[in-house]
Structure 1
């Protein structure tokens, strides 16, 4: 099979921060044979698919769209029943309630809610697996038009200046002017098959057996295999492949088997990168025959088994976008029916009682970010607080979630982070927060928690908070921007409901007390025109003192539904007593969001944080979804920004648990991102600075754009600037437009949006071989979701950059000037410098104050 497509922009730009990972919480053992970092486990990994819900420590559920005219794969179509995995496909005759997903570059996040027909299902292993034998026992769907599949997948992108990119150029696999080159390491078993390349003659006595190392023609092999039996006979069959990456005794190859009978061998384009194992049903454009003239069909998987070979040819390379396209990015609100599907005794209520020793990664995301206290003009990156950190999220073993806050008197780890993502020098004013993996809309939200009494019932600088959050940015000129009289580069849709403690009598930040609460509703961020309402609510008691601090907070949210005769409202309750009702005039949100729980440090409205350590204990959370008929269901612009890698959470256990595996290095942590946080007393002008989002699709043909990850560094003492006119005070003097549209206006380089990459460069700058240099410059964008880059060409070594990698290029997103830099050792006597703005992005890129200096 060979399919080419462009996928939507849906991903995480992240920043690698190395921190100490606590191992205080010990989760239950897992059975994976490998962990992400390439540790060799022992024995065979086997999944029997018992129970009613997938084990989220082993499996990810996909929520994405690829491969043509279909509506993607969604979590509702993944089920467990009778000891089997059920992957459901909805054909052209489907009339039920499940809606799919559709890529749309004009939609927030690059994706929108899709139609009902041609919606499939897929899961993937959380861990990465290498050489070995892979087997699923399955009963495939015996209808044309839908593909029943098992495949491995590992996707990477390499950019100009990287040796791998140059290798591809030298091999004629990619143009020297291309934006990137993709490694697509993949092995497929796909049904139905066909006799040859033409999309005709499809049959279930044939299969497609594919191996890939890239996306281009000449980087994959398809074998049109003949099977010993018609596998659409309604019976279970064993589908296997043995993957050999190569050793002194084994040639690199993939052997394919049906019911233990070898039916094909691929010897070309054999991948070596360990990949996630996928099982799925989906709707290709034409190669699976069709049309899919059916209502609902199911592929049943009885079990999956993997036996590792641990061959020396295995390579363990991280994917470029490992977190994209999973259930946690699914913006469609979870329904009572879906909750009951996973837990038949749930009664339509999603609930967590926080029993056990670790959070469920299928239910929760752990935050690692900073908001609510930028100092100065923001260019220094310094923040009042140290943000929220995964090390401060714990289960106490008594059935409570413990969100820990470290105050002014705290000395220890973890270190806090600034808004830029850069680590701080201490652990003071560092809190904790988690958010539901799934989105919820109208319904009943209830949290029982113990309000901390740190200061005899008085405010103590840290805020216990419960809130929903949904954030989007709409660019200048968009219908939403125009309809809301936007100003600046974008208009922000910030749909949010808050319960925050302590409260106060009114807008001035005085009189804070736990006898009051802030009950807020939001639809935007602006104060003028008003887009939010803050209600200063009298609780009638000091909730940090009464009943030992244990209280039940609840709100009932109605987004509004004309069909049910329901108007928008939010009713806020304390211990069952109604305290305040927000109506449509109070900016009641209508976009489903995640539910957040947090304990964090505002800058100036919660008192002084004069304590060492405090914990907010949460007994349970429950959400009872209502009808979503009145909701506006859309993706967030940056749905995965601000969350830690699961490996950073202290409850994470590398596999197999119980020893042998190295402690995982913390994974990428989002840097400057939109602030999904409660807005206490909303403050105008707090504009999140997001990062782009890209979703590579786990099938052949994906393309995407780079997602850089800025990492600040100490700036060495500079020498003289080797660039001519680096501040652009002399217009284009010294600079050449080498692509797209580049000009100097007002003393700054302007790189305008174009169908090709806009680029300006300064060539043949004299350097001394063997000496170390630093290229730096201030970059910004008129559109916060776009990226401007600074880069080098020429021969050099020991390259590092502000994104934490070894590329000779570094980029910046956001609308405020931020410094990007590259350090290198020259290995020739000349280099060239460029600044660029990738094609087809919104707005323009800007560059100023560029310097190239020799450093010690």
Structure 2
């Protein structure tokens, strides 16, 4: 009995220790540190969106993003404001509508594997969970690759990045999508177990985890470690791939899609390749382990996004204004072997103008 108890206690201690935030790997390099101490948003580092954001709302706008002084912390912080169903102020969103308009700030820099550490405050202690809002921290990268419709159902040497299995939103249009949400609050007005989502091109996985009551109007630190790796892929020959933009891309439907999911490959030698694959994203809140994503973790870089929006799936927002705040941000890059850099590089484009009218795509 005593021996069993000792083993159980040791096992519990090992599990607890494994869930502690690990020391940074030797390869880690500090890539971004932001504390808003200048009192302004640095346009060389950040840009705010004027964009449609899902259904049942009127998008996000730069007017809802600002740097303000936080009296509790005694410092400047980033504030992303949300306008609810009762808002009747001067700020307008898509189609000139005033209600259900949020704010999102995006880093100019793209990041690969690394540690992301963000302090966030949702609401206030008096009103900590503004139902109808979706406050979130996430990485995001996207790229559309197009070919002539006559070539849409096959690979083509004119555009090695095109993959017929990645078609979406029109024949001959394939897309690459990299995203990790850590976390995304507010689905159906629920703030206790937010979503931790991963998006790898057309694949998506969503997990929900307890975050220890962090949506309480107080400041909390969210930490995510994102890792990638090289995973050998058997049977791929030099004749089945094409090199472009620093990577190798599958060009043969005989290579099973589920063995690479649209990720590029690295060449290890003659007729030898490995997939640049996402490995894991592990999440902590105030140093406490919350959970992890191991399925459809991306390997391509993404920009850090911070903000709040009001989609229909968040439920009603029976109030005028609410705010989400962000304080210190630190990002270290791990430079893991499976990182895919330089493929997703463009800023997110606006979808409507200051009057709320649609912006024509180039």
> Would you call these one fold, judging by a TM-score over 0.5?
yes
Q: Is residue 388–residue 433 contact of structure 1 (8 Å, CA) maintained in 2? A: yes
| Residue 156 of structure 2 is aligned to residue 484 of structure 1 | no
Q: Distance in 1 between matches of 2:280 and 2:205?
A: 13
| Residue 303 of structure 2 is aligned to residue 594 of structure 1 | yes
Q: Distance in 2 between matches of 1:542 and 1:457?
A: 10
3-state SS of 2:190 partner: coil
Q: Distance in 1 between matches of 2:278 and 2:303?
A: 22
| Residue 284 of structure 2 is aligned to residue 573 of structure 1 | yes
CA pair 667-636 structure 1, distance change in 2 beyond 3 A: farther
Q: Distance in 2 between matches of 1:566 and 1:472?
A: 18
Q: State the shift of 1:538 in Å.
A: 2.1
User: What is aligned with 1:557?
Assistant: 226
User: What is aligned with 2:58?
Assistant: 386
**1:293-312 equivalent positions in 2, closer than 5 A:** none
| Residue 153 of structure 2 is aligned to residue 472 of structure 1 | no
Partner residue of 1:532 out of 198, 204, 227 = 204
Q: State the shift of 1:590 in Å.
A: 0.7
Q: Distance in 1 between matches of 2:62 and 2:357?
A: 11
Q: State the shift of 1:500 in Å.
A: 3.9
Partner residue of 2:39 out of 357, 368, 373 = 357
Q: State the shift of 1:667 in Å.
A: 11
Deviations 1:397-430 (A, max 9, x none): 332111111111110111111xxxxx32x31111
| Residue 114 of structure 2 is aligned to residue 443 of structure 1 | yes
Q: Distance in 1 between matches of 2:210 and 2:227?
A: 23
| Residue 326 of structure 2 is aligned to residue 618 of structure 1 | yes
3-state SS of 1:409 partner: coil
User: What is aligned with 1:371?
Assistant: 53
CA pair 524-455 structure 1, distance change in 2 beyond 3 A: farther
Q: State the shift of 1:483 in Å.
A: 5.9
Deviations 1:9-62 (A, max 9, x none): xxxxxxxxxxxxxxxxxxxxxxxxxxxxxxxxxxxxxxxxxxxxxxxxxxxxxx
Q: Distance in 2 between matches of 1:589 and 1:438?
A: 17
CA pair 560-643 structure 1, distance change in 2 beyond 3 A: farther
Q: Distance in 2 between matches of 1:431 and 1:454?
A: 21
3-state SS of 1:610 partner: coil
Q: Is residue 49–residue 106 contact of structure 2 (8 Å, CA) maintained in 1? A: yes
Residue ranges of structure 2 left out of the alignment (5+ in a row): 1-25, 70-74, 147-151, 232-267, 269-275
| Residue 179 of structure 2 is aligned to residue 496 of structure 1 | yes
CA pair 449-516 structure 1, distance change in 2 beyond 3 A: same
Q: Distance in 1 between matches of 2:164 and 2:277?
A: 25
Q: Is residue 137–residue 184 contact of structure 2 (8 Å, CA) maintained in 1? A: no
Q: Is residue 80–residue 103 contact of structure 2 (8 Å, CA) maintained in 1? A: yes
Q: Is residue 110–residue 301 contact of structure 2 (8 Å, CA) maintained in 1? A: yes
CA pair 602-367 structure 1, distance change in 2 beyond 3 A: same
| Residue 192 of structure 2 is aligned to residue 515 of structure 1 | yes
User: What is aligned with 2:98?
Assistant: 427
Q: Distance in 2 between matches of 1:431 and 1:495?
A: 22
Deviations 1:540-561 (A, max 9, x none): x32222xx42111121111224
User: What is aligned with 1:399?
Assistant: 76
Q: Is residue 366–residue 644 contact of structure 1 (8 Å, CA) maintained in 2? A: no
Q: Distance in 1 between matches of 2:219 and 2:343?
A: 35
Q: State the shift of 1:365 in Å.
A: 1.0
Q: State the shift of 1:444 in Å.
A: 0.4
Partner residue of 1:412 out of 89, 110, 113 = 89
3-state SS of 2:76 partner: coil
Q: Is residue 457–residue 514 contact of structure 1 (8 Å, CA) maintained in 2? A: no
Q: State the shift of 1:670 in Å.
A: 7.5
| Residue 313 of structure 2 is aligned to residue 608 of structure 1 | no
Q: State the shift of 1:642 in Å.
A: 2.1
Q: Is residue 570–residue 582 contact of structure 1 (8 Å, CA) maintained in 2? A: yes
Q: Is residue 368–residue 669 contact of structure 1 (8 Å, CA) maintained in 2? A: no
3-state SS of 2:52 partner: coil
Q: Is residue 103–residue 309 contact of structure 2 (8 Å, CA) maintained in 1? A: yes
CA pair 668-351 structure 1, distance change in 2 beyond 3 A: farther
| Structure in which a larger fraction of residues adopt strand | 2
User: What is the number of residues matched between the two proteins?
Assistant: 277
**1:260-279 equivalent positions in 2, closer than 5 A:** none
3-state SS of 1:519 partner: strand
User: What is aligned with 2:8?
Assistant: none
3-state SS of 1:436 partner: strand
3-state SS of 1:621 partner: strand
Residue ranges of structure 1 left out of the alignment (5+ in a row): 1-335, 340-346, 374-383, 418-422, 526-530, 646-665, 673-690, 693-856
Greater C-alpha radius of gyration: 1
Q: Is residue 122–residue 128 contact of structure 2 (8 Å, CA) maintained in 1? A: no
Greater RCO between the two (CA within 8 Å, min separation 6)? 2
Q: Distance in 2 between matches of 1:524 and 1:589?
A: 8
Q: State the shift of 1:644 in Å.
A: 9.4
**1:691-770 equivalent positions in 2, closer than 5 A:** 691-692=361-362
Provide the aligned C-alpha RMSD in A: 3.3
Q: Distance in 2 between matches of 1:551 and 1:472?
A: 33
User: What is aligned with 2:12?
Assistant: none
